[in-house]
Structure 1
Amino acid sequence: MIDTLNKNVRKLPAWVICLIGGLYPFWLLWLALSGDLGVDPAKAMEHLLGERALQMLIAGLAITPLRNAFGINLIKFRRAIGVTAFYLVFSHLLVWLVLDVQLFDQIWADILKRPYITIGMAAFVIMIPLAVTSNNWSVRKLGRTWRKLHKLTYVICLLGGLHFVMLAKGFQWEPVLYLGTVIVLLLMRLKLAGFTFAWKRA
């Protein structure tokens, strides 16, 4: 069954993920202009883009555990998932800058005074070198350094999950579940209480 699944997955082009992810912000914009995103469409777009970006980050983080635990091989999609996640985070940030805050002085004040924004901005800044080096030329040029650099994905996922938890008003299960999923996936790469999870590093 797994072999059949992997065989069918190999037939799917990775660029489909980039295409769907690339069109998603424009679809949200269409919904906003059509009045289908409620009374505050900018906030709705901002939230949906951020949540989709976090989902993509978690999907990328889950690829190695899925392969090692169940034999499901989605490695070919990892780069497309990462690039799409960056694009969605950038779109999330752009909506916040252009449609929500708008004033530069207020933007800088929010980054400095609101911890959840500081954390979110830190995650975005860390993502930039990863997005820039997500190509075959960089892999060849950087060699082993490329792998070390892209392990920053772990930090980005943690910051993204924490950002979501902190911006929620009051206790909400959804952000906690996202952060918990990130933590579980990361713990699978560590030795806990003498028990070694049988995951190979990507």
Structure 2
Amino acid sequence: MNKLLLHPATKPLLFVLALLPFAHLVWGAIADTLGPNPAEALIRGTGDWVLRFLCITLAITPLRELSGWNALARLRRMAGLYAFFYGAVHFLCYAWLDMGLDLADIVRDIPKRPFILVGTLALLLMASLAATSFNRAIKALGAARWKALHRLVYGIVLLGLLHFFWMRAAKHDFGEWAVYAVIVTLLLGWRLRKPVRGYFMKFGSQSAG
């Protein structure tokens, strides 16, 4: 599997595959197959893919550690950049289809609606990660500072969940949100296991002493 993941064709293939949901939505808008409310379908569809790509990004490390497929790490940057791409398209759909690209109305609307404010904050944080996702940025910031900055992804996915929760609250439909919440909890819990284990081991050794 590592050899397959290291194949030169792997990244271009995944790049194209990650664009397919976007192409499907664009084609649906052109062919008028998105249902009675195409604007809502575009906004909802792009938003769903933000959360999915954030989950994929966070899943790469646990999957790599469990499987030994270390070459998965080379795909994490692409997954994160696609999360930002779909986030930017999601915001553009809101700005265009909901607000008619009226900048003054958008600026007034964002703070009035908490779920949009939270979503916008998540997008701005994702933009900072996307802008520093390249090798030059790593060298400029230094590895430790760069890693600390990119831990913002944990806060971003939680903001994304909150955004989705508030959006679904109006319809009292939390089934899909609960699925994402469980996945994110498991992915973040995986990262907490080592610090928690280390704390209890340290606490146990101090108690024994």
TM-score interval w.r.t. the shorter chain?
0.7 to 0.9
Cα displacement (A) at 1:87: 0.7
Provide the C-alpha distance between the structure 1 equivalents of 2:183 and 2:5, rounded to a whole number of angstroms.
Answer: 24
1:111-135 per-position Cα deviation (integer Å, ceiling 9, x unaligned): 1121111110110011111101111
Candidates 34, 37, 40, aligned match of 1:37: 34
Cα displacement (A) at 1:189: 1.6
Corresponding residue of 1:188: 190
1:46-91 per-position Cα deviation (integer Å, ceiling 9, x unaligned): 1111111110110000111112223233111001111111111101
Corresponding residue of 2:2: 6
5+ residue gaps, structure 2: 199-209
Candidates 84, 91, 102, aligned match of 1:86: 84
TM-score (norm 1): 0.86
Partner of 2:10, secondary structure, is coil
Provide the C-alpha distance between the structure 1 equivalents of 2:118 and 2:41, rounded to a whole number of angstroms.
Answer: 20
| Amino acid of the structure 2 residue aligned with 1:76 | R
Equivalent positions of 1:108-147 (< 5 A) are 108-143=107-142, 144-147=144-147
Provide the C-alpha distance between the structure 2 equivalents of 1:173 and 1:23, rounded to a whole number of angstroms.
Answer: 25
TM-score (norm 2): 0.83
Corresponding residue of 1:156: 156
Cα displacement (A) at 1:182: 1.1
Corresponding residue of 1:199: none
Provide the C-alpha distance between the structure 1 equivalents of 2:133 and 2:16, rounded to a whole number of angstroms.
Answer: 17
- Tell me if the contact between 1:14 and 1:77 (Cα under 8 Å) persists in the aligned partners: yes
Query: After the TM superposition, which of the residue ranges 82-91 and 181-190 deviates more from structure 2?
Result: 181-190
Partner of 1:189, secondary structure, is helix
Please give the root-mean-square deviation of Cα atoms over the aligned residues, in Å.
Answer: 2.2
| Amino acid of the structure 1 residue aligned with 2:128 | P
Q: CA separation of 1:145/1:65 partners in 2, compared to 1, >3 Å: closer, same or farther?
A: same
Cα displacement (A) at 1:184: 1.8
Provide the C-alpha distance between the structure 2 equivalents of 1:17 and 1:88, rounded to a whole number of angstroms.
Answer: 15
Partner of 1:188, secondary structure, is helix
Provide the C-alpha distance between the structure 2 equivalents of 1:9 and 1:39, rounded to a whole number of angstroms.
Answer: 41
Number of equivalent positions:
193
Q: CA separation of 1:133/1:15 partners in 2, compared to 1, >3 Å: closer, same or farther?
A: farther
Equivalent positions of 1:49-64 (< 5 A) are 49-64=46-61
Cα displacement (A) at 1:26: 4.2
Find runs of 4+ consecutive structure 1 residues off by over 6 angstroms: none
Structure of higher CA gyration radius: 2
Query: After the TM superposition, which of the residue ranges 27-36 and 101-110 deviates more from structure 2?
Result: 101-110
Cα displacement (A) at 1:22: 4.2
Greater helix proportion: 2
Corresponding residue of 2:165: 165
**Aligned residues: percent identity?**
37
Provide the C-alpha distance between the structure 2 equivalents of 1:91 and 1:17, rounded to a whole number of angstroms.
Answer: 19
